Amino acid sequence: MAKKGDEAVRSGVLTVVAACCAVCCVAWQGAAQVRAPRGEEAPHVLFYEAWAVPSPADSVRVDVDVSFRIDREFFVPVRDPEEHAPFHRSGDVVVELQDSTGGTEARSIRSIEIQENSTERNPAGTVWEQGIIPLSVRPGKYRVLVTVDDEESRRTITERERFVSAGTPLAGLPGASLTTIHPPAGESLPLHVLLMNYGDEILFGRPASVLALWHGDPAADTTLSVSYEFTEDPAAPIDATEIPPARSVTVPVARDVALISSADSAGVGYTIRTAPGSNVCAAVIPLPLAQLPLRAYRMSLTLRSGGGRREVTRRARAVWPDMPFSLKDIDNAIESLRYITTEGELDSLKRGNLESRRAHLEGFWRGHGGREGTALNDVETEYYRRVDYATRNFGTLRSPDGFRSDRGRIYVLYGPPTSSDRTLDPVAGHQEVWTYARLKKRFIFVDRDRSGNYVLVTAGAM
């Protein structure tokens, strides 16, 4: 429990954390993975999605775009003095569409070449290699196979659990294709849209929309009416009040359009431009996906435009690829609150079964720093990133939980110091002085027996 004298800090620390969110995030970079009751059990290396893109140029075959997102750390960096950069990562992405007999209808290979100036590892889920691979097929339903190879390690990932339906261009709204995108900056054409590109998953706490495309009647399809509903899968009454209620929205339809794929440092997406006579319609549907807690869902959409109707039901999970490690276990996340709660509050958070403790933890953070319109709490995220850093950097063989140490406690409460000075004295012991210039505070830690256990001996104003 928090040491005596921390009561004043406890009352104001969340404000300090909130003020530092934009500048003090330090990600934890290495530890064994544990079960993650609130979401992912382990970091995903590959996300991909396939969807049929209506094309005005070909009425016989259908265009299918396969977008992918690969954690860059999957590709091993190699030194190569002949390249423009001292290191490079290399591999291949192979995409194949198979028909019902297992035969290959279309196949494409994309080479991955990444040049870098260092081999410093990035935290899982923070740096991605993304792209779109276009394929052309006959109308039908196909299994999607995506294989990723790393040239250096010879490691291979193969995913084959997704299917894509490529309907005929005459299907109209009942054959509409849908994909999740980041909300576009404007509404007028040409319109630039960026794919969320997390497969069927929902990026936790981030605003999102759905892009719908279909071959329609330009004279009839002027607006699109959309009814949506989210249900937790499996249902959990304890979470019911946190899920956005069912709603209906009406959005404008852009008619006679074409899509041009693009990729840059921001991600992959499309430019939607006018294409007279294409008979392709597009609509951007805003959905409250950012409000969904970190769970699995069944998302139901009903689309109506002109005389057409399309009903879609999808299973999806909210995922947090770069979730702080200390949040991946509910009990550890609660225990990490010891510096900003009283003993009674901490005991209350620990009561009940796993689902109850999860609800207690989320309820605690909803009352401290949450923003309207999103389930992602910036203050919570920064707090646990500090716990991650302290756990990794301030533990010893005798006390591996570094966030429990004196240096860990100060780091969690105040973040990284403005400056840190260390002196190594073989007689008096090692000493560290942390200075927080903005807060006008200084902390002195001493490791008298040179075991790595630094004890706080002086704390006060500068």
pLDDT digits (tens, 9 = 90+) for 374-386: 999 999 999 999 9
Summarize pLDDT for 164-207 with one digit per residue, the tens: 998 877 678 998 999 999 999 888 899 999 999 999 899 999 99
pLDDT at site 58: 55
Delimit the CATH 2.60.40.10 region(s) of the chain.
46-319
Summarize pLDDT for 195-239 with one digit per residue, the tens: 999 998 999 999 999 999 998 876 777 899 999 999 998 887 767
Check pLDDT > 90 for residue 247.
yes
Give 107-113's long-range contacts (Cβ < 8 A, gap of 24+).
107/135, 108/133, 108/134, 108/135, 112/70, 112/75, 113/88, 113/89
- Among candidate residues 456, 408, 411, the one with its CA nearest the CA of residue 436: 411
**Mean model confidence pLDDT for the chain:** 86
CB 387 within 8 A of CB 336: yes
Rounded CA separation 291/243 (Å): 7
pLDDT at site 218: 65
pLDDT at site 238: 67
Model confidence at 11, pLDDT cuts 50, 70, 90, reads very low
Check pLDDT > 60 for residue 432.
yes
CATH code for 46-319? 2.60.40.10
Within 10 Å of residue 400's Cβ, how many Cβ atoms?
11
Rounded CA separation 72/93 (Å): 13
Buried b (16+ CB within 10 A) or exposed e, 108-125: eebebeeeeeeeeeebbb
Q: Which tokens belong to 369?
A: 């720093």
- Average pLDDT of the residues in 437-453: 90
Residue type for position 53:
V
- Average pLDDT of the residues in 278-291: 94
